[in-house]
Structure 1
Amino acid sequence: MSPARRNLCVVYGVIAFVALIATWWNNIAYLADGNDLGGFVADGYANYASSSLVNDLWLVALAAVVFMVVEARRLGIKYVWVYVVLSIVIAISVMFPLFLIARERRLSETSGTMAT
């Protein structure tokens, strides 16, 4: 793997780690306040500002999932469904960077044999 690809993987890894802490810190606090998962999405639509952010997140997540599936098929990355499912269970902001690491690794393996 080239140093540039390795550095990019480190950046993606840091983003995934920070995203895991940032999302789950708030998820745990939300549940600790006596809320349940049933109201989680509804609470995201509490006002126009939060509704805008939630809608933005849904649409970016949809674009990311489409990209993951298309790229996984193009590059032969196995088990893309795991990234998709864990995007829902954990967070898209965690799983998308992890997919990008897998993509960089695959591109590194196939450099010279596939167009990037």
Structure 2
Amino acid sequence: MRRHWTPLAFTYLGLAIAGLIGTWYFNVLAIIQVRDYLRDLATSGPAVSSFGIDLLVVAVAGSIFIIVEARRLGMRFGWLYVVGAALTAFAFTFPLFLAMRQQRTTELARVEE
């Protein structure tokens, strides 16, 4: 089986590498500095930076997924979920998109029957 790497696959792979390097840089820094990781999450320190990078990379990858998947399924205004994340929270708009995506795939499956 041949593997086909698309630009989108490379984008996701690049984000995965950025997420690994970014988060582990601050995790290692916390270990070297003998920081209390959980306390740092509540106050400040490398743990917060690691967590922030973690969420940022997930939000970027999720935003790309939203745009690509919305186009693939013919969902109008997919970009509004990404804009909405900036106004509310990605923790709100991504699950909302997944719910609407599920509704759309169910709708498309019924049309094919």
Say yes or no: TM over 0.5: yes
Q: Which residue of 1 aligns with 2:71?
A: 73
Q: Which runs of 4+ in 1 moved over 3 A?
A: none
Q: Which residue of 2 aligns with 1:48?
A: 46
TM-score, normalised to structure 2's length? 0.58
State the distance in 2 between where 1:84 and 1:73 align. Answer: 14
Q: Is the 8 A contact 2:70 2:78 kept in 1?
A: yes
State the distance in 1 between where 2:45 and 2:76 align. Answer: 40
C-alpha RMSD of matched pairs (Å): 1.4
Task: Provide the identity percentage.
Answer: 42
Q: 1:88 aligns with which of 86, 99, 102?
A: 86
Q: Is the 8 A contact 2:84 2:93 kept in 1?
A: yes
> In terms of Rg, which structure is larger?
2
Unaligned regions of 5+ residues in structure 1, if any? 1-45
Please tell me the residue identity of whatever aligns with 2:53: N
TM-score, normalised to structure 1's length? 0.56
Give the paired residue count: 69
State the distance in 1 between where 2:111 and 2:51 align. Answer: 41
Secondary structure at 1:78 match in 2: coil
Q: Which residue of 2 aligns with 1:63?
A: 61
Structure with larger RCO (C-alpha < 8 A, sep 6+): 1
Please tell me the residue identity of whatever aligns with 1:73: R
